[in-house]
A and B are shown apart, each in its own frame.
Chain A
Amino acid sequence: MLIRVFIRKLAGLIAFLLLASVLIFLIVDVLPGDPAALMLGTDARPDTLQALRHQLGLDQPLVVQYASWIIGLLHFDFGTSMTYATPVLTLITERLPVSLPLAVMSLALTAMIAIPLGALSAHHHGLTLDRVIKNGLQLALALPNIWLALLLIMIFAVGLHWLPAGGFAGWKSGVIAFKSLLLPLLALAIPQAAILARTVRAEIRDKAQENFVLGARARGLSENDILWHHILPNAMLPVLSVMGLQFAFLIAGTVIIETVFSLPGLGRLIFQSITQRDLPVIKGVAMLLVGSVILVNQAVDLLAALIDPRLRRQSGAFL
Chain B
Amino acid sequence: MTALDLKGLSVTLGSRCVLDNLSLTINKGEIVGLVGASGSGKSMTARALCGLLPTHAKTNGTLTLNGEPIALHDVEAFAAIRGRDIGLIFQDPAGIFNPLMSIGDHVAEALVRRGGLAWTHAREKARIALDRAGLPNDIPAFDRYPHEVSGGQRQRAMIAAALALSPKILIADEPTTALDVTTETGILALLRQCADEDGLGILLISHDLPILERIADRLLLMKNGRIVESSTLPLSNDTAPELARLYALGHKASIHAAHERRAPLLQTKSIGKTYSNKSQFLLGSSDTIHALKNISLSLGESEIVAVVGESGSGKSTLARILAGLDRASQGEMIWTEGKGRVQMVFQDPAGSLNPRWTIGQSIGEPLSLSANHPRVAEAARDAGLDPAFLTRYPHQISGGQAQRAAIARAIIRRPDLLILDEPVSALDFEIRDQILSLLERLRAMHGIAMIFITHDISAARRLSDRMIVLDKGEIVESGITADIFSAPDHAMTKALLAASSSEERVRS
Contact = CB atoms under 8 A, between A and B. Distances in A.
Interface of A: 4, 7-8, 11, 210-212, 214-223, 225, 229-230, 233-234, 307-310, 314, 318-319
Contacts of B89: 218
B99 A225 contact: no
Given A4-B283, A218-B88, A212 B145 contact: no
Nearest to B50: A218
Interface size range on B against A: 35 or more
Contact of A222 (B96, B98, B113, B282): B113
Contact of B96 (A11, A212, A221, A319): A212
A223 B52 contact: no
Given A222-B113, A314-B278, A319-B281, A230 B83 contact: no
A225 B106 CA distance: 13
Nearest to A11: B282
B177 to A, nearest CB: 15
Interface in B86-122: 87-90, 93, 95-101, 106, 109-110, 113-114
A138 to B, nearest CB: 27
Given A4-B283, A219-B109, A212 B79 contact: no
A228 to B, nearest CB: 10
Main secondary structure of the interface of A (DSSP, over half): helix
| Residue with the highest number of chain B CB atoms closer than 10 Å, among A210, A221, A234 | A221
Given A218-B87, A221-B83, 11 more contacts: A7-B283, A210-B95, A211-B95, A219-B164, A221-B114, A222-B79, A223-B79, A225-B113, A234-B98, A308-B100, A309-B148
Contacts, number: 89
Nearest to A234: B100
Contact of B99 (A7, A11, A310, A319): A310
B161 interface: yes
A307 B100 contact: yes
A232 B162 CA distance: 23
B281 to A, nearest CB: 5
| Residue with the highest number of chain B CB atoms closer than 10 Å, among A7, A211, A218, A230 | A218
30 contacts: A7-B282, A8-B281, A8-B282, A211-B93, A211-B96, A212-B96, A212-B97, A215-B97, A215-B98, A216-B98, A217-B82, A218-B52, A218-B83, A218-B87, A219-B110, A219-B164, A220-B110, A221-B109, A229-B113, A230-B101, A233-B98, A233-B100, A234-B98, A308-B99, A309-B99, A309-B100, A310-B99, A314-B278, A314-B281, A319-B281
A225 B282 CA distance: 41
List of 4 A-B pairs having minimum Cβ-Cβ separation, nearest first: A220-B83, A211-B95, A218-B88, A215-B96
B165 interface: yes
Contacts of A215: 90, 96-98, 158
